[in-house]
């Protein structure tokens, strides 16, 4: 369309740009501005420079929150990736029936509202819930505990919920990637006498680098943004043992009257997500060349 009027593209762009600019970019900039002030949400605000950012390193609750986010990355991202790689590689080696149904089923946790997921897992983790019932039936009474009220076990228990949500997504993604690898490559490797393990490291793993990058990006970002799950299952407790950055943003901005601190956490979280995206995509692109 060479003969279009000059302003025409901007006319088509206008609605999206106004909505996106007004309700996403502008509030993001405002967050940066908020983060430089001390404000309780009602009274006068005071400019404090980078104090709120310094607090990210000195405030023990915040340090713990970011530490918990790292633990969640293991459960949301690393564990599903390992499980997904093993399962997808094995399933890819032989034609099995019912793969379509399998995909539908394991992907299902992704479409459920996190509140629904949290309600389901609360019932599993309840003192007389299905997990403890199963342990008692196996004679493992010593292992039963209040899964969501224990200083040691609550964070891993919340993490496992993330593993449950993300593993299907990762597996389906990897299955699709492995399905695109030419069959002849595997045949040739087998003729050369490569076993299943060699085949995995020499052919399967390198050919799904792009998919691994996507899986890591999606799941790490999901781990870092965790809010609903913690809000509904534990409320950050017991104590502060399961609080995460996103939960601290909410608490400080709307419950504790520390709006500047909340904005600083949110801006830091966004910066971390940007950097992670860039790093993971760089690695994936660099290797695909």
Partner 1 sequence: MITSGTERALNYVILIVFAAFALAPIVTVLAAALSPQSAAASPGILGLHPENFVDAWTEGEFSRYLRTSLLVSVTVVSVAVVASILSGFAFGTMRFAGSRALFYLFLLGIMVPTEAIVVPLFYDLRDLGLTNTLWAVALPQIAQSVAFGTYWMRAYFRTSPPSLIEAATLDGASPRRVLWSILVPIGRPAVMTLTVLAFMWTWNEFLIPLVMSPNGEFRTAPLALAIFKGQHVQATALLAAAAVLVALPVVILYLFAQRSFIRGMLEGAVRE
Q: Which of residues 184-213 bind partner 1 (CB under 8 A)?
A: 186-187, 210
Q: Which of 79, 158, 189, 221 binds partner 1 (CB under 8 A)?
A: 221
Pick between residue 54 and residue 90 the one whose CB is nearest to partner 1: 90
What's the min distance (Å) between Cβ of 241 and partner 1? 20
Give the footprint of partner 1 on residues 12-71 (CB under 8 A): 12-13, 15-17, 19-20, 22-25, 27-28, 30-31, 33-34, 41
Near partner 1 by CB under 8 A: residue from 48, 79, 114, 230: 114
Q: Which is nearer to partner 1, 155 or 246 (CB)?
A: 246
Cα–Cα distance for residue pair 7/213, rounded to 1 Å: 39
Which of 225, 240, 256, 257 is close enough to bind partner 1 by CB under 8 A? 225
119 is a site residue for partner 1 (CB under 8 A): yes
- With binding defined as CB under 8 A, does residue 230 bind partner 1? no
- Looking at beta carbons, which pairs linking 2-7 to residues 24 or more positions away fall under 8 Å? none
State in angstroms the smallest separation of the CB of 58 from partner 1.
21
Task: Report how far residue 234's alpha carbon sits from residue 240's, in angstroms, rounded to the nearest whole number.
Answer: 10
Within 252-271, the residues that bind partner 1 by CB under 8 A are 253-254, 259, 262-263, 265-267, 269-270
> Binding residue for partner 1 (CB under 8 A) from 73, 230, 249, 251?
249
Q: Is 279 in the site for partner 1 (CB under 8 A)?
A: no
81 is a contact residue toward partner 1 (CB under 8 A) = no
CA distances from 234 to 118, 126, 241, 253 (A): 10, 12, 9, 19
Query: Which residue, 117 or 155, is less far from partner 1 as judged by CB?
Result: 117
- Smallest gap from residue 140 Cβ to partner 1 (A): 18
Total residue length of the chain: 289
Q: Does 107 bind partner 1 (CB under 8 A)?
A: yes
Nearer to partner 1 among residue 8 and residue 143 (C-beta): 8
For partner 1, the closer CB: 145 or 225: 225
Three-class HEC string of the chain: CCCCCCCHHHHHHHHHHHHHHHHHHHHHHHHHHHCCEECCCCCCCEECCCHHHHHHHHCHHHHHHHHHHHHHHHHHHHHHHHHHHHHHHHHHHCCCCCHHHHHHHHHHHHHCCHHHHHHHHHHHHCCCCHHHHHHHHCCCHHHCCCCCCCCCCHHHHHHHHHHHHHHHHHHHHHHHHHHCCCHHHHHHHHHCCCCHHHHHHHHHHHHCHHHHHHHHHHHHHHHHHCCHHHHHHCCCCCCCCCCCHHHHHHHHHHCCCCHHHHHHHHHHHHHHHHHHHHHHHHHHHHHHC
**Smallest distance, partner 1 to C-beta of residue 76, A:** 14
Near partner 1 by CB under 8 A: residue from 76, 121, 147, 200: 121
User: Closest CB to partner 1 among 54 and 96?
Assistant: 96
């Amino acid at each position: 369309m060479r003969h279009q009027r000059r302003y025409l593209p901007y006319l088509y762009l206008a609605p999206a740009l106004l909505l996106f600019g007004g309700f996403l970019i502008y509030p993001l900039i405002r967050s940066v501005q908020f983060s430089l002030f001390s404000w309780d949400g009602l009274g006068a605000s005071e400019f404090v420079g980078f104090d709120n950012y310094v607090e990210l390193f000195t405030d023990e609750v915040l340090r713990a929150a970011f530490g918990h986010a790292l633990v969640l990355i293991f459960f949301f991202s690393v564990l599903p990736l390992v499980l997904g790689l093993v399962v997808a590689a094995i399933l890819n080696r032989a034609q099995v029936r019912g793969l379509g149904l399998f995909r539908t089923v394991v992907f299902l946790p992704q479409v459920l509202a996190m509140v629904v997921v949290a309600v389901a897992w609360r019932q599993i983790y309840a003192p007389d819930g299905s997990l403890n019932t199963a342990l008692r039936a196996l004679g493992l009474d010593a292992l039963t505990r209040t899964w969501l009220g224990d200083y040691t076990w609550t964070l891993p228990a919340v993490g496992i919920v993330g593993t449950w949500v993300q593993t299907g997504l990762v597996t389906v993604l990897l299955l699709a990637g492995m399905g695109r690898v030419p069959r002849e490559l595997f045949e040739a490797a087998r003729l050369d006498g490569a076993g299943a393990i060699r085949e995995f490291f020499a052919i399967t793993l390198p050919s799904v680098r792009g998919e691994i990058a996507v899986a890591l990006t999606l799941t790490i970002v999901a781990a870092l943004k965790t809010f609903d799950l913690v809000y509904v299952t534990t409320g950050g407790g017991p104590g502060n043992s399961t609080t995460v950055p996103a939960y601290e943003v909410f608490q400080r901005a709307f419950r504790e009257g520390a709006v500047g601190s909340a904005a600083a956490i949110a801006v830091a979280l966004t910066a971390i997500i940007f950097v992670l995206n860039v790093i993971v995509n760089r690695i994936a692109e660099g290797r695909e060349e």
